[in-house]
Amino acid sequence: MKDTNDNIMQTVRTIFTEYLHDHDLRKTPERFAILQEIYTINGHFDIETLYNRMKDNKYRVSRATLYNTMELLLDCNLVIKHQFGHNRAQFEHSYKFRQHDHFVDLDTGQVLEYCDPRLQEIQKTIEEEFGVEITHHSLIFYGHKKTEDRSKKTE
């Protein structure tokens, strides 16, 4: 497993290095430290969480550097941005990304991931019907977890 993670990290560093080179941008240690930290996070995170993780790990990175680097990582498809509500963007790394969709609990803000193979069939149907190639999609369900108390209120 460690070899796989090392290989992924090496690959994303190469992708990012090439992107920076192609766009005549500086290859700073801070940018690569941010990339490294992002790829150690499992699941979704926001900028504030990333900032605190960087600070806890003794990296001196400003929020401005985080926001600017995040834009670069979005541009080179190493990170995906989600808007689950509450006016707060969340991100997740996208290399070796397993396609999945989300359920957002409106009471807690918790984001649950799921994968339903029927969605791939719908995607194929849309591609065939419209003669298009779908590169990615986003499906988010919003709701409340069922509880005994909530069930009684709706009766």
Residues paired with 58 in a beta bridge:
none
Q: How many CB atoms lie within 10 A of CB 82?
A: 17
Span 75-118, pLDDT tens digits: 998 998 887 766 778 888 887 666 778 788 888 878 787 778 88
Continuous segment of H or E residues that includes residue 64 = helix 63-75
Sign for the pseudo-dihedral over CA of 4, 77, 73, 40: negative
Structural domains of the chain, ranges and CATH numbers in brackets: 1-97 (1.10.10.10), 98-155 (3.30.1490.190)
Continuous segment of H or E residues that includes residue 77 = none
- Using 50, 70 and 90 to split pLDDT, how confident is the model at 153? low
